[in-house]
Structures are given as structure tokens and as C-alpha cells.
Amino acid sequence: MSGERGQTARIGDRALSSAFGPLTAYRLPLTAVRNLLRHRIRTALAIAGITVSTAMLLDMVLLAGGIERSFGRLLLGRGFQIRISPKGTLPFDTDATIPDATRVRRIVAADTAVVAVGPLLGTSLYLRMGDSLVTLFGYGVDPTAQANYQLESGQDLAPGDSSGVLLSRPVAERLGASAGDTVTLVSRLDPEAAVAGVERRLTVRGIVHWLYDYKGQPSVGALLPVMQDLARLRAADRVSALIVKVRRDKDADATAARLRTALPMLEVNSVAALVSRFRERLVYFRQLSYILGSISLIITVLLVSVLMTITVNERLGEIATLRAIGISRRSIVRDVMAEGTILTLVGGVLGVLLGAATARYLDRILTSFPGLPAAISFFVPESQSLALAGAVLLATGILAGVYPALVAARAAIAETLRAEAT
Amino acid sequence: MAGMEATVRAGWVVPLLLITAVAKAQQPVSIAIERRLAERLRVQVGDTLSIGVDAGATDRKAIVSAIYEPAPDPAAITKREYFLRLHLPDLAALLGSPDRVERFAVALKPGVSPAAAAERLNQIAFGFRASPSRDIATESSQTFRVVSRFHQAIAVISVVASGIFLLCMMLLKVEERRRDAAVMRFTGISRRTIFAALLLEAVLVSALGSVFGVALALGASLVTNLYYQRFFDTSLVFSVVTPSIVRFSVLLSLGLGLAAGAIAALRLVRTNPLILWGRG
């Protein structure tokens, strides 16, 4: 009996195809669009809802791993894959320093996988400007092995150039200084005697972009020994961190493990490990993005399925008529699911546009965190996660159409037609 | 136990735990450690620890004289730092910076303006800067203002999404009553009565949804607080459902429900009952 019904349906489809053209894949979206346009307000509202939900989903996908990707790119920007810092700290997380830096550097450089080791010291100091003092952040660097600045104009420091200094753009603009000018750096102010403990007159060699500075941060850089003198850390040969470049990226974790054994009193982390530590600190944003992303998907499913179910219920008579003249269940299911998919696709495309705009706005808010490097971004697109989000959204739209499609397919033809006739 | 506060890191405290021999040459200093650190190190009042500035030089002996619960600090919870307290001269000696401090707290005589006092101090300042506590609090709360702005922006998107969802639902809910409305019109019930009935239904559905929504929010808030308080081992409150938030949500829900119900009901009562019945 069921075989007969199936045969009837197939014959009906063929008959309809010859009379009105085939219900082929390319006609299907048109039929679905026409059906959706029959209720313009509800379709518009559903698309608006899906658009906002998709925008939220997109933003949350970008946020979930965005800052980690951004942080990883920043750390790996100059190819140094390992960071060494005082035990129990992350680089520049506290004022703690590493003593005997030259010896540590020698031990690190002895590892066969290591191709470069750079020391880095960070300290607060002042720049004398007439009668007043400007508070600055000072970097002590080795220009032959550095990963924290890019030259914008002028010249880089030469090895052994103990009278040169590099300025950040904000400092240069504030002073009106350029390459060749001289500046006076002071430190260790004694409030009682009203004198500076250390004072150095240096010549500006160039203007640089300090990669880890926050927006507008006034920073200067000099050779490590000069900065150690200013910070009075030269006697103990202290640095804030060491950066290490290994021959191949894939050797970073193994090299870090070897260095950890060689230097048990220091913290040795590959960039991957640092990103992982960073991720722990930003667990809140990741969890928030998961929760809000899930809610967005639930809203999309509810919107599409409720809308489609009510629409299908309203059209039961029409569907029963179609079934009665021989349209197969499969065609009805396909038609209903196509409507759900089209709603999701249209809402999804608009949602991507809205999401991109809101991501930029939200990023502007979050990157105004005090002290955050200007190069860090919270919403970073990645093709893999975007593709996954798109696939999940599409699957959600299709899934949401399953229940109404089943309602349509299971409609009892005779009963429905009888009910419609009364 | 007034003194400066030293940051102790997880990795740094391990050597402290391992080197616990009682010092002979130097008089041990007295320290207070926070409860989480005491639990981690499994130390009690009276135990002796070795402390130092560098992990390789923990040669100063310290006796735990107190275990304290620090004031919850939202700025520090994600860093999971451990703190211990020393008398100021002991810490200064440990750091090799005798008679140096990071900051002074100044109590003013009654009636003196903090801003004016800070300005006077800054006129004679060399190597330090005086700031009213209020300014420091404003500065240090920048992070939370950023988080708050982010939450507000997310909330706006959520409100828009839920508003559209609510509008859509109410519209569908009323449109579902097409046949009922047609029957009522056929039996002579006035448009106004049908409109009022549909509107009342929309308001009731919105009100019921609001009650469930508030209950869900209170439950979610409770779970959020329980989870994060346990996750960060803190007594900080992470989620607060205030009366103003409840008021705003309920009013928004009722307003949207009423608006959507009114629009949909108006469309229904203006439509020919035969069309509503599907015969027009």
C-alpha cells in the first residue's frame, strides 16, 4: 500500500513537472522566497532577529580566541619564540628582575638550538625638560637581539653606542625632538636633597615604535648598560627578561624545557606557554563568549523553528492539497527546510556585516584597557573559526527547519482537507 | 603588622616551602601570610620559612606570625598572586633599599581639602607626586569602567536581539488567533472587544514571560556567583540583579509585548472576517 502511495507521488511529481516545469533545485529557493514574502512583517522580524543573533555569534567567535591570537602574533612578530623572566612571573608583570644576566645569557646561548639571546630591562625614569621632569618608561636593549621596537625614523643604536637614545613618537612630539638632539635622563630622585642620583645626557639617534607600549606611552630606549646605570642595577647585572630565538619554531617547546632544567631559578616559557598563561587570565572573556554565542544560537533556532512551525500550521490546507495532487512528502519537507535555510542565510549575511561593525566598536572599548599594548586586539578574525561559526549557523538554520518540515510532511491529507472545507 | 605588601608568586613560593631550616645567624623576621598562600604551603602560625628577592637566594628566615584574609580585590583576582606582609624595615632590608617606600598615606586634619593639600605638596615635590585618594581610586578603577562599558554594549545588543525576538513572538501569537477573531466577528462581538481581548492576552503572556525571565536571571546570577567565587577562591560578587535591572527588563518586556500585541491585534480587527476565516 505504501509502495503504491510512493509511486503515485512520483507519478504526480512527474505530471506536475511536465505541466508547470520541474521542482528542481534552482526552483526551490524561488518557491521558498515566495512563501516567505507572503508574510513580510514576520519574515522581516525573523531576519532582523537572526541578523542580531548572528552578529552576536560572530563577535563572540572573534572574542573567544581573538586576544590570544593577537598576543601570540605580537610575541612572535620578531621571531623570538622563548621568554625568560624572574621565577613565578611573566615578563614585565612585576618589578622583579633577573640577576647576573650576562652569565644567564651565556648559558642560554650555549644551547645548540638557540640562535640569538637578547636582554631587556624596563625601568621608570625621568626626562629633564626645563625646570620640570617628565615621567618616562625606559627600555635597556641590545640592538643586535631585540624584539620590542621598530625604527620609524633616524638610526638604530649601534653596538657600543653608550651616548645614544631612542625615543617613542609621543616623547619626540612632546619634546619637539628629532634625531641629533640631546636629552637628559635622570633617575633615583632624592626628595630630601632635591637632586637626582643619576643623570645622563644622551643624543637622540632615532624615533621608534615600541611594540609593547600602550597608546601614547612615553618611552625611551638605550643600550642595556646605560639603562642599568640609570636604574642602578648594573652592579648586579640585572635585567627584566631575556628573549630567545631558536633555529626552528617547532624546537621552541623542547628548547624551553632544556633551558628550564639549566636555569631552575628562572621562569622559562615558550610563546605557546605564555599564550596559555594569558588565556587563563582571560578566562572570563572566553566563557562569556561561549555563553553569549550559545544563547545567540538558541535564539536563532527558536526564531526559525517557531516561525516556520506557525507558518506551516497556517498552510496545512495548502500542503494537504499539494499532497493530494501528488507532490511527494520529500518535496514538501525540502520546501519548508529551504525556507528556514533562506531565512538563516539572509539573516546570516546581514549578521556578518552587523557583527563586523559591532566587533570594531567593542574592540575600541576593550583596547582602552589601561596599560594594554596598543598592538593588541580582542576581536581577531581567523578563517578556521569563522568557517566553523558559519557552518554551525547554517546547520542551526537547517536543524530549526526540521520540526516544522516534519509537521508539514505528517499532515493527514483527508482530515486536513475536510477540516479546511468546513 | 603595618607594613608594605610584597607580591609572592606561585613559582616563587615553592623554594620557600622547601627551605625551612631554622636560621642560626640572623633573627627571623615576622611575617603575615594570606590564607590562600598558607593553604597552598600548608603552613601554620609559628612555622619558619625562608624568603628572598631572588628564587636562588632565599636566605632570610621568617616566622609566620599571622594568617590573614585579604580584602577582595577585583583588579588582582585573574593574576592569582599571593601576598605576604612584612614590617616595613624588614622588607626594605630584604630589598636592599633601606628607607625607601613606594608611597605614603596621609591623613589630613578635619576640614582640609585633599585637592588643595595635594596641590601644596606638589609645589614643593621633588621625586614624588601627591594625589587625593579619590583621584587614585578613579585612576585605578579605569579597568572596571572599560569592562562596564563593554558589558553595556553587549547588553544593548542582547536587548535589541531579545526585543526583536519578543516582537516576533507576540506578532505570531496574535496572528495565531486569526480564526478565533473571525468567529468572534461572525458572532457579533465588536472589534474593540476583540482588540482588547487580544491585547490583554499579549500583556498576560509578556507578564508571565517577564516573571519567568526574572526568575531565570536570578538563578543564572546565583550560578554565576557560585561558579566564579569558587573558581577564583574569593568572596567577590560577580553578578548582581538589582531592582532597577528587574524594573527595566520587565517594563521593556511589557512595553514590547503591548506594542507588538497592539499592532498585530489592530491588523486582525481591521481585516475582513471572511479573509481571516480563509474564505475571502
CA separation for the pair B168, B178 (Å, rounded): 16
Q: Do B158 and A189 touch (CB under 8 A)?
A: no
User: Tens digit of pLDDT for each residue in A77-93?
Assistant: 888 999 999 988 888 88
Q: What residue type is B210 in one-letter code? A: S
Q: Do B150 and A99 touch (CB under 8 A)?
A: no
CA separation for the pair A36, A266 (Å, rounded): 65
Interface of A with B in 364-403 (CB under 8 A): 365-366, 368-370
Q: Is A108 left (phi over 0), alpha (psi -120 to 50) or beta?
A: alpha
Determine the pLDDT at residue A209. 94
* pLDDT at A350 > cutoff 70: yes
Helix then strand then coil, in percent of chain A rounded to 5, is: 55, 20, 25
CA separation for the pair B37, B34 (Å, rounded): 6
CA separation for the pair B45, A417 (Å, rounded): 85
Which residues of B are less than 8 Å from A94 in CB distance?
Answer: 7, 9
CA separation for the pair B65, B38 (Å, rounded): 12
Q: Do B128 and A358 touch (CB under 8 A)?
A: no
Judge if ipTM > 0.85.
no
Q: Which residue of B has its CA nearest to A361?
A: B153
Q: Do B150 and A362 touch (CB under 8 A)?
A: yes
Mean pLDDT of B200-228: 91
DSSP structure string for A334-402:
HHHHHHHHHHHHHHHHHHHHHHHHHHHHHHHHHTTSTT--TT--S----HHHHHHHHHHHHHHHHHHTH
User: Tens digit of pLDDT for each residue in B133-154?
Assistant: 988 888 878 888 888 899 889 8
User: Greater confidence, A103 or A318?
Assistant: A103
Q: Which residue carries 621608570 as its cell? A: A124
Number of neighbouring beta carbons within 10 Å of residue B279: 9
Contact B118, B130 (CB under 8 A): yes
Which residues of B are less than 8 Å from A366 in CB distance?
Answer: 146, 150
CA separation for the pair B198, B264 (Å, rounded): 9
Which residues of B are less than 8 Å from A365 in CB distance?
Answer: 146, 149-150, 153
Which residues of B are less than 8 Å from A288 in CB distance?
Answer: 154
Cell of B208: 508571565
**A236 exposed, middle or buried (CB, 10 Å; 0-12, 13-18, 19+)?**
middle
User: Greater confidence, A163 or B7?
Assistant: A163
Stretch (H or E) spanning A422:
none
Q: Do A88 and B78 touch (CB under 8 A)?
A: no
Which residues of A are less than 8 Å from B149 in CB distance?
Answer: 365
For the ranges A331-335, B67-71, B164-168, the maximum mean pLDDT occurs at: B67-71
Most distant pair of Cα atoms in chain B: their distance: 105
Stretch (H or E) spanning B264:
helix B243-270
Say how many CB pairs under 8 Å bridge A and B. Answer: 114
Q: Compute the C-alpha angle A204/A209/A210, nearest 5°.
A: 100
Contact A99, A110 (CB under 8 A): no
Determine the pLDDT at residue A409. 83
Determine the pLDDT at residue A197. 73
Cell of B277: 476565516
Contact A13, A23 (CB under 8 A): yes
Determine the pLDDT at residue A190. 67
Cell of B14: 615553592
Stretch (H or E) spanning B201:
helix B191-232
Contact A341, A397 (CB under 8 A): yes
Report how far apart the first and last C-alpha atoms of chain B are (Å, whole number): 88
Q: Where exactly are the structural domains of chain A?
A: 2-71+282-421, 88-264
DSSP structure string for B12-66:
HHHHHHH--PPPSSSPPEEEEEEHHHHHHHT--TT-EEEE-SSTT---EEEEEEE
Interface of A with B in 98-117 (CB under 8 A): 99
CA separation for the pair B120, B102 (Å, rounded): 20
Contact A46, A307 (CB under 8 A): yes
User: Greater confidence, A313 or A349?
Assistant: A349
User: Tens digit of pLDDT for each residue in A190-238?
Assistant: 666 666 678 889 999 999 999 999 988 999 999 999 999 998 889 899 9
Contact B35, B71 (CB under 8 A): no
For the ranges A275-279, A303-307, A367-371, B131-135, the maximum mean pLDDT occurs at: B131-135
Q: Where exactly are the structural domains of chain B?
A: 5-95, 168-277
User: Tens digit of pLDDT for each residue in A15-61?
Assistant: 444 444 444 444 566 777 888 888 888 788 888 888 988 888 888 88
Stretch (H or E) spanning B236:
none
Contact B35, B55 (CB under 8 A): no
> Hey, is A152 helix, strand or coil?
strand
Cell of B50: 625562608
* pLDDT at A333 > cutoff 80: yes
User: Tens digit of pLDDT for each residue in A125-148?
Assistant: 888 887 778 889 999 999 999 989
CA separation for the pair B272, B182 (Å, rounded): 8
Q: Which of B79, B146, B176 sits opposite A369 (nearest CB)?
A: B146
Determine the pLDDT at residue A40. 84
